Amino acid sequence: MVATAARQWWVLVVQGILGVLFGIFAILNPGATLVTLALIFGAWAIISGVSSIAEGWRVAESRGRSWPFAASGIVSIVAGVLAVLVPPAAIGGLILFLGAWLVVAGVMEAYAAYRIRDEISNEWIIAIAGIARAVLGLIILAVPIVGVILTVTTIAYVAIAAGVMAIALGWRLRHLHQTVGGARDRLSAA
């Protein structure tokens, strides 16, 4: 398996280069990055909605009721179509959802730290992480552009880091391929 991967080392290098280029593009063109994110969300929501409706049909055949699947499917399809037709609204909605999620998750994390304080030590670390998450969520809810900047920045830097790692692995596999290939040539010549 390693030998096969080593022969295809260049695929990882190309993947890495594309990841780094995408990350740089995301930093230089945050608007396009966000619109692309909204369109991907829209496509996912539409596919999810169609899948829910199809599942509802299957459930209806055996149980007779499928309205929860239909309702979920319709809402998903409407959200997906709106995201595709009006990407800025989808971006705004996703950012507000991100802020609300961070607040709820942070409060629950701090609460969990309080509840388990007698069972573990250093629970304050969990509490501080939860409070920080909740504060970040409140900031995003108060100033949504912060959420937009954080989202694009995170996507960009993750793409760049993953790209650099793929390039490094590709080069290591290239070296392995040359080492294994050279050894194989010496064995066949002997």
Q: Is 55 domain-assigned?
A: yes
CB 102 within 8 A of CB 140: yes
Q: Is 190 domain-assigned?
A: no
Q: Looking at residue 66, what is its pLDDT?
A: 73
Q: Is 44 domain-assigned?
A: yes
**Residue range 104-132, pLDDT digits in tens:** 999 999 998 888 888 888 889 999 999 99
Q: Looking at residue 62, what is its pLDDT?
A: 74
Domain residue limits at 36:
2-185
Total domain count, the chain:
1
Phi-psi region of 143 (alpha: psi -120 to 50; beta: other; left: phi over 0): beta
pLDDT above 80 for 9: yes
The reported pTM is: 0.64
Instruction: Provide, rounded to the nearest whole percent, the portion of the chain with pLDDT above 90.
Output: 51
The type of residue at 159 is A
Q: Looking at residue 189, what is its pLDDT?
A: 58
